[in-house]
A and B are shown apart, each in its own frame.
Chain A
């Protein structure tokens, strides 16, 4: 049973460029959340997708956008890259509407983005 997978592993971009990161959820999961983790900080919630719609969004500018496909995989797009966008981008998957107090979000290994 494959867990959450992300691609690419590492990426180097220049300020002003655009980037697309990809995520495939764990088998049986239909909800994908994206997080940004800057060095020395905890992950910060960017947004969550379910049924190909953005369901929740954190405090991130419109430069950050996403998409979910019918097979539940997801993309994170960042436009007009800034130096401050350098971070580890984590994708997490879970079943929607689990309801239980202790449902777990499974994280992928992340994509390390460096903006120069």
Chain B
């Protein structure tokens, strides 16, 4: 079993739609969590950190549930430019553990 698991998709949604990605992690000792965005053939870039209290950055909302070991990302009012792979990431003693990634394709 992978330490961080997420549905690879693809998720195909129209512009303006709301889409939610989920992720589970198995290591309860994981210290912190992130969502990274990766465009095709590019490096991953930090989208946002994830807190138990939830955090929002514009159209993006991330949530952590430590009891269920579950992480979510909600994207509202999807834009064409949101098309990318979204990587769920946990951090444990300095190293990042990545999920497989979820592919989002936003269509006009």
Contacts and interface: CB of A to CB of B under 8 A. Distances in A.
Interface of A: 31, 33, 35, 40-45, 48, 55-56, 58, 88, 90, 92, 101-102, 104-105, 107-110, 112
A88 B4 CA distance: 20
B43 A110 contact: yes
Interface residues of B, number: 22
A109 B100 contact: no
Interface of B: 4, 8, 31-32, 34, 41-46, 49, 87, 93-101
B57 to A, nearest CB: 12
A87 B85 CA distance: 17
B31 A107 contact: no
A45 B101 CA distance: 15
Given A90-B44, A101-B31, A109-B42, A44 B98 contact: yes
Across the A-B interface, give the 4 residue pairs with the lowest CB-CB distance, nearest first.
A42-B98, A107-B43, A102-B49, A101-B32
Given A40-B100, A42-B101, A102-B49, A107 B44 contact: yes
- Which one of A41, A42, A105 has the highest number of Cβ atoms from chain B below 10 Å of its Cβ? A42
